[in-house]
A and B are shown apart, each in its own frame.
Chain A
């Protein structure tokens, strides 16, 4: 395995990754491999499968960590620890016991909670003069899982769909402004937005919809 300086620095931040990744001799991974298939391959120390799984879940894990820890530095550390835990324990995943996404959520959440226990939450910089609207623990957990699923589902979109969805929802642009910004016909932006929403709905169907 190639070892460059970045690999060394990143690896040193991860707790007890003492097992070496070995090149997989299995068949190449299809891009649409399911999470369960990837986990099975990670359990066999398949580095390519791990990287694919990381690409799919790093943003939801980071989002979850930020929600729980409230500090970007701690959250980044927790992400590293969560993926180290996934690497270590992937072989314990049993598909018959539940969906891979749920298993990954549990492993990630546990890693984040471990970090929370070790460091304690970051000092909260709330504005004391405003009334609290903080959710209770149950609502908090439900919101965290919803965000996890939706952010994971966003990773399923084609880049061109994701781009228009992000512009529409989080950049404050109208469809016309997005079309002008992207240099695309308005109809194309509308089509991509609609197909992106439809894909999200399909991915999320049965779990949240």
Chain B
């Protein structure tokens, strides 16, 4: 399980009892709520309001007409596809991995990890990643866990850092996505120039 921070280690013995209790409550709240989500570059920037738009009603109307036309044209195809998907077991939840073993790539040959997928909670899918053998990264750079869909990085699930290859790290992550059959995960390190996703350092062990 996740290594829970030790309150006594964090606060030390130099604080008064009253202050200690105040800090303990803040400590418990941090444990209770978990980390805030990572923001995409788009979300980090406040939305712009400097553009005059078409009235929304007209936009919605135009979109509705387009949607209606598209719906009519593909209805038959959709019905057929839906039937086929059901016959092939299109539902994914029963096929989700519950424990995924990951091994280091050439970029981190000594790395090993397990990823445990838990039951969905509040729209997020909690996961526990236990990893050892990853080298320490330069300051302000992070390893990133990526959801892999159709063989390609599809969505970021969280970042973490390690103190060095000898240090085992266990942490909780969230995948705020709807999972599908065949989804998997990898761990990457930053690419040149901070390009994400970077180079894969851990990938699933295949049978």
Give the size of the chain B interface in residues (CB under 8 angstroms): 71
Collect the chain B residues with CB atoms within 8 Å of residue A170's CB: 34-35, 171-172
Contact across chains for B163 and A180 when beta carbons are under 8 A apart: yes
Contact across chains for A201 and B25 when beta carbons are under 8 A apart: yes
Contact across chains for B37 and A59 when beta carbons are under 8 A apart: yes
Given contacts A54-B46, A76-B40, contact A70 B53 (CB under 8 A): no
Q: 8 Å CB contacts to A: which residues of B1-58?
A: 2-3, 5, 9-12, 15, 19, 22-23, 25-27, 29-37, 39-40, 42-53, 55-56
Q: How many A-B residue pairs have CB under 8 A?
A: 231
Contact across chains for A133 and B43 when beta carbons are under 8 A apart: no
Given contacts A70-B124, A167-B161, contact A14 B36 (CB under 8 A): no
Given contacts A83-B46, A197-B10, A197-B23, contact A171 B51 (CB under 8 A): no
Taking residues whose C-beta sits less than 8 angstroms from the other chain, chain A's interface range is: 35 or more
Collect the chain B residues with CB atoms within 8 Å of residue A84's CB: 47, 49
Which residue on A lies nearest to B147, using beta carbons? A72
A58 within 8 A of B: yes
Collect the chain B residues with CB atoms within 8 Å of residue A12's CB: 51, 53
Collect the chain B residues with CB atoms within 8 Å of residue A171's CB: 160-161, 169, 171
Collect the chain B residues with CB atoms within 8 Å of residue A27's CB: none
Contact across chains for B36 and A209 when beta carbons are under 8 A apart: no
Bound-state CA distance A28–B98 (Å) is 53
Which residue of B22, B27, B56, B124 is within 8 Å of A16 (Cβ)? B56
- Most B CB contacts (10 A, CB to CB) among A21, A87, A194 go to A194
Q: Mark A180-200, 1 if CB is under 8 A from B, else 0.
A: 111100000010011001101
Bound-state CA distance A144–B123 (Å) is 12
Contact across chains for A132 and B161 when beta carbons are under 8 A apart: no
Q: 8 Å CB contacts to A: which residues of B56-71?
A: 56
Given contacts A11-B51, A51-B46, A84-B47, contact A150 B123 (CB under 8 A): no
- Most A CB contacts (10 A, CB to CB) among B9, B46, B169 go to B46
Collect the chain B residues with CB atoms within 8 Å of residue A79's CB: 43
Contact across chains for B52 and A20 when beta carbons are under 8 A apart: yes
Contact across chains for B51 and A8 when beta carbons are under 8 A apart: yes
B88 within 8 A of A: no
Which residue of A69, A132, A169 is within 8 Å of B30 (Cβ)? A169
Collect the chain A residues with CB atoms within 8 Å of residue B117's CB: 127
Main secondary structure of the interface of B (DSSP, over half): loop
Given contacts A143-B122, A173-B163, A197-B11, contact A3 B51 (CB under 8 A): yes
Contact across chains for A66 and B35 when beta carbons are under 8 A apart: no
B149 within 8 A of A: no
Which residue of A75, A128, A175 is within 8 Å of B94 (Cβ)? A128
B148 within 8 A of A: no
A114 within 8 A of B: no
Which residue of B3, B46, B93, B123 is within 8 Å of A70 (Cβ)? B123
Which of A29-37, A95-103, A116-124 makes up part of the contact surface? A116-124
Collect the chain A residues with CB atoms within 8 Å of residue B180's CB: 125
Q: 8 Å CB contacts to B: which residues of A151-191?
A: 151, 154, 165-175, 177-178, 180-183, 190
Which residue of B9, B42, B49 is within 8 Å of A20 (Cβ)? B49
Other contacts beyond A3-B51, A168-B5: 17, CB < 8 A: A6-B48, A11-B49, A12-B53, A18-B52, A62-B36, A67-B124, A72-B177, A87-B47, A122-B178, A126-B120, A127-B98, A127-B119, A167-B161, A175-B10, A198-B19, A198-B23, A209-B29
- Give me the interface of B with A, judged by CB distance under 8 Å: 2-3, 5, 9-12, 15, 19, 22-23, 25-27, 29-37, 39-40, 42-53, 55-56, 92-94, 96, 98, 117-125, 136, 139, 155, 160-161, 163-164, 167, 169-172, 174, 176-180
Q: What 5 pairs between A and B have smallest CB-CB spacing?
A: A70-B123, A54-B46, A125-B179, A7-B48, A177-B163
